[in-house]
Structure 1
C-alpha cells in the first residue's frame, strides 16, 4: 500500500489520482488473506475494515509487477508477475483522504493461489506497520457476516465465482467502497 500516485503503464492512467494493484490471495483451504486496516485514513477511532494485500503502482510498473512486488513486501510470498495472470476484477471511484490524496482512484485485482499460509510482514512500510493491526485467513463463507467491512465489496461472491471456474473473459467491475 504505497503512497505513490500509482501511475503505471496504462492508457487510462492520467484519469486516476492513484492506481492500486491488489491480490486476492487464496490458500488450499479456499480461505482469503485479509489485513485489518483503519476504515478512515488517519482516523483509527473511526473503526476498521479488512482489505486485500496490495498497493500503489509505482511509476513505470505494470499492474502485475506492482501486484507481485506488493505481495512480496506484505506477505513474504514470491510470485513472478506472469504467474498472477490477468486482472480478475476492478473497482474505481472518487476518494478524499485529507492530507494525503483526493481524486479518482482505481484498484485492480489479481487472483493468486498459494499452498503457504505463513505470512511474513517484515516488508511492511512504516505506514503499514502503524496501521495494519492484524492479518487473517478468512473462509469465504464468513466474509458476508464479518463484524467489520470487507473490501472490495462483493468479495465473497466474486471469489465463489472465480474458484468455481466461472470467471468471465473480462474483469468483474465491483462497486466502489469509499463514500
Structure 2
C-alpha cells in the first residue's frame, strides 16, 4: 500500500468559523459518496508538510500564506482515493487564521472542480449539530484541544 503523507488546513476566519469543502462524487470509486472536509492534500516529492500546507492553501483557497500557524494534530489513516487506490496517510493538521472569509477556485485541479460542490464557513455550534459526514471525524474535538473553540 502506497504511503501518502498529507497536510490538512484548519482555516479559521475572524468570526472563528471553520472552512470546509463539500465533496460530492459523481464518478469513480467514490461514486455516490458526499462529505465535508478541510482543505489540503498530499505532499509533492521532496516537499515538507509545511510547504505542502502553504501550496494547498493557495491552490484551494486562492490565499497566499508565508507562515503557517501551529501544527495542532497528526493522524494516521487508510482511505480510498477517487481512482480506487487504497493509501495509508500520515496527515498533519495546521491552523491557519485568515483576515476574511472569501476564497477563489481559480487554481483548482480538474478533479477538485468535478468533486467540490460547495464551500462553507462553519460556526462551532453548526458543526457540532450537523448530521453530515465530516472529515476528520474528530474535528470539533481537535479544535477544542487546540483552544480554537
Common fold: TM-score over 0.5? yes
Counterpart selection for 1:50 from 27, 33, 36: 36
Q: Is the 8 A contact 1:17 1:101 kept in 2?
A: no
**Contact 1:24/1:33 (CA < 8 Å) preserved in 2?**
yes
State the 1:55 CA deviation: 0.6
Query: Where does the alignment leave 5 or more consecutive residues of structure 2 unmatched?
Result: none
Please report the TM-score for the alignment, with normalisation by the length of structure 1.
0.74
Deviation, structure 1 residue 151: 0.7
> Which whole-Å CA distance do the structure 2 matches of 1:102 and 1:40 have between them?
19
> 1:56 and 1:43, CA in 2 relative to 1: closer, same or farther beyond 3 A?
same
Report the counterpart of residue 17 of structure 1 in structure 2.
3
* Matched residues, number: 149
Q: CA–CA distance in 2 between the matches of 1:164 and 1:102?
A: 32
Structure 2: how far apart are the matches of 1:160 and 1:101? 33
- Greater relative contact order, per chain length (Cα 8 Å cut-off, separation 6+): 2
2:94 is the counterpart of 1:110: yes
Map 1:65-144 to 2 at 5 A. Answer: 65-80=51-66, 83-97=67-81, 99-144=83-128
Instruction: Pick closer, same or farther for the CA change 1:137–1:159 going to 2, 3 Å.
Output: same
Distance across 2 between alignment mates of 1:133 and 1:40: 11
TM-score, length basis structure 2: 0.88
CA offset at residue 86 of structure 1?
A: 3.6
Q: Is the 8 A contact 1:140 1:159 kept in 2?
A: no
Q: Give the 4+ runs in structure 1 shifted more than 6 A.
A: none
Contact 1:140 1:160 in 2 (8 A): no
Contact 2:29–2:83 (Cα < 8 Å) also in 1? no
Residue 28 to residue 99, structure 1, CA distance change in 2 (3 Å): closer
